Structure 1
């Protein structure tokens, strides 16, 4: 880590950023939730006051439990059941990310959660892509640039993983970058979905797996060794396989060594990890240890509405708490770009033409 004065948000806002782990239904603007609820007849919001609703989402998510954290999504998903709503939410997400300095993002969502009013899975995917295209065009018209792909999530407590994997492959030439499984980890191991992962591998498709958040090392081990995950969604509990002696000597267990040696990316979401009780506090987050040990660490927002965060605020908190400097944040960003579900030439172009020059300008 760099020995520098903590970086300020104004500087970090200008830093080019790469975001691999961000849920579309976890990043709505509070005003959009209220307006869509009125437009769609959704009447279960805890309040229609925009500021109060924003506070409610953050406070409700601050429960220390992943299960409770996930309950807040009933409201965002509740207002995203029409094509118009999906287009709007996706377009606004792209605009908000670009305004935050994000140059590449993968937005993930579970199509099966947006079919309550009769939309087909394909219609959901097409509506989200329309929104992403619109948002990208708006950003370009304002003089900016951002590239956005999507990840289709299957909910691990349901039994539709293969169906969603097939959906991802069907739309992979139209904006879908890959596949994921999400939802409660405890009691729903990734091996329940082996047929989906086998199908994806046979079709040369990319996938990440939520693992090592609410459940520990067995979740990570299954995701990698049984399912073949290319990346780990969170993966932060890999630290449970790292021991430190009283003299500071560090010992990596077999699984931690494998994850580091194979350069398996960790999609770490610091603020979210605190909210769900995965780590006790921001200051105790193991991201600094994992970075020192040269794991392929990436920094992510998870759910910008529920966590009340942006990539800039996450970078700022990391710089303030752990003394990370521009070189460290550049390293996180290049780690993420190297790990993106994007073709090699495009990744290299963003690294060499956008990310490196962007950080050089800040320095």
Structure 2
């Protein structure tokens, strides 16, 4: 089997289990030597001790490989240890066990319980502890306080280790999330610098050169100025605040800047919380729809944004009172390489798993309906 390399948090825990197993084996060996003459069949104690030593060596190397930490190994570890524990009835003898002699697997039998707790958390540790504790009580054949105390301590150890594993898992996830956010923030800052050094300077130049001109040149300068201001705000916002792509955003907050005397925004009184990619995608599609109104409709054309927060999905409708779109105009524009609607609206929403419906007719305005499941994105 191919050896794997453990770079996660579990590596130190598995090493701790191996160290415990070795220390417990040493202690068990000392007790076997010390109580050798009191055993019913002392010569059988050495083969059992040899099995314990061999299994300790095997599991030390096996658990070091993440690829081998599978149910077959963990179950075999538990069953073999239970078998060693049960062998105490034959080697030590029932009279010796009832007199208080320790089992052959004293302390060593806790190692697989710890392994289950590391691999499967508290539930796995509790399951192994109950199985091992029941075997230990059956082998001892005397239900005194000392017997129960050992089983309870083993159960508590399994719970503690399982809880520790869960805490470390959460810490690891939070650390990974913080690293991802930092990397995303650095990338956004780099893009912001690039945009500032290229696009913003070009827009500023167009605005400055076209200022005071009449006709289309003046309109172009005005549009360049607006886009420069909007882009500067966008870049400044992204550069100033780390962005967590897993956080929820309020769609109404993202759409509120589009409200103006010419654009009416209607929606729920409360926040419409959506995953960040979904909320930003909808806001960008709405911006593209409003840009089409500004470009292709007469000045003063009214536009309306309606947000409907339904239980399973969010529906955003952008409607205008413009002249509408001629039949086949969208297909013709896409064929000519003008992909504003195809990519900025339909393509963006499709990438998020949603659907876009455009209803229009000459002289009746246009309506863009966006539907997205709340868990999309």
Question: TM-score, normalization: structure 1?
Answer: 0.24
For the pair shown, which has the larger CA radius of gyration, 1 or 2?
A: 2
| TM-score (structure 2 length as normaliser) | 0.23
Flag the structure with higher helix content.
Answer: 2
Higher RCO structure (Cα 8 Å, ≥6 apart): 1
